[in-house]
Chain A
């Protein structure tokens, strides 16, 4: 399946990934800039923050309490914010478009 990451400069990177991975791992495995994922995918550090293209937002898995808690402490989150490690890439997300920040903090 195809995932599109668009970085803060507007540079678009289309990557082919296996269904079943998540958006954080897919980014790290494809050297996508702007995604750190310090905690290893435990939803504990919020350094895999992405902004999801609005058309895709309603099709994503719902947000769990832990993801909500981590997003709540971030100064730069908005209504499109999600944590990549919590987005399991099922086949119906083929074509997903997300925006990555300049860096995580």
Chain B
């Protein structure tokens, strides 16, 4: 079945099935890219929706932009604390249940976040941009011309892994471990990366040991501007228990890796789906300095959701949420809300309110690395257009393979050809 037929079948099903049976967490909806009609119906008919039974147990779905904003801005009501369940829909995933600053509430959240956030401050990004550009140029110059290859490992994974190794000052020759541990952290068991939760934990213990070794090296050396040294030398974090250190490391690995990687792949796919926009970009590359990059991030929405847990009984858009219940904010839905974004399914590189997308979250947990991610995607396209300035020169040749995952919206492969 081709993608269009599949989407039509999904729309028929989404609008004919009993409302209460809709389960937006079904990971095949992301794998097949058929989630849109289900979310459209929920936004229209049941914007705060309860799913009684799913792979991830019972949970509430928040599907509209303004309701998500309400949840984001009230962390005292909707907690991120790992002890309550953390920030992702899966409860049994030991990796995402570790203490890490994204999965903490204030005041500890604010304290730990501030230890690492200077690395992505504007001055530091300005300093790093030359290196990012050089690496991007080298990577593009090594790509095969006029033959089909997979963009995901050759460009997206390649570039984001090098960036992450730089941020950690991680042994460069072993940097592919970072990508592997990122995948181990977020994968659903049985989808190709890990077989079980035990398998996940076994692999992450190795990650913990590796990073403990790096910690011990850095803590006994002069402070340096890499993430491990910053954590090891800050008085706010230097006495972290090992599981909290591992949690923060995994957060930074996934945050610095998956999202940028998948936006890099998504941008290529989006421009191929919307050739007029590809022409617009080639005619006006300055769009990369204003709205084009946020629009790529909106269109891709590299994380489908973030999760919170209600700390007390509360009301949300007329529904009664009870203390302890799981509340999932579906960014993949709010970023497609017609009342917020005109013709939301389409890519519009000059979209006036592109920056208002919710892919980075809002409120105190807003993505700390958002400007670094944007910088990497901007430089990638600037360097692509320098080499291949005509619309369609990076041509998608076949269907991408998407991840079977309710959290990370990404690609395991994207066949392309550079026409030159």
Contact = CB atoms under 8 A, between A and B. Distances in A.
Interface string B388-413: 00000000000000000000000000
How large, as a class, is the contact surface on chain B?
A: 20 to 34
How large, as a class, is the contact surface on chain A?
A: 20 to 34
A25 interface: no
A66 B73 CA distance: 8
B226 to A, nearest CB: 16
Given A69-B106, A74-B114, A75-B118, A42 B69 contact: yes
Interface in B340-385: 353, 355-356, 360, 362-364, 366, 368, 370-371
A103 B371 contact: yes
A32 B363 CA distance: 24
B113 interface: yes
Contact of A104 (B110, B363, B371): B371
A101 B356 contact: no
Nearest to A69: B364
A70 B363 contact: yes
Contacts of A37: 355
Contact of A103 (B72, B122, B364): B122
Contacts of B109: 73
B366 to A, nearest CB: 6
Which residue of A40, A42, A43, A44 has the most chain B CB atoms within 10 A of its CB atom?
A44
Given A42-B69, A44-B73, A104 B122 contact: yes
A66 to B, nearest CB: 6
Contacts, number: 68
A76 B364 contact: no
Nearest to B371: A105
Given A39-B356, A102-B123, A70 B371 contact: no
SS of B interface (majority) = helix
B216 interface: no
Contacts of B294: 38
Nearest 8 pairs between A and B by C-beta? Answer: A103-B122, A44-B362, A75-B114, A102-B122, A38-B355, A75-B117, A105-B371, A73-B364
Interface in B192-208: none
Contact of B106 (A39, A40, A72): A72
Contacts of A69: 75, 106, 363-364
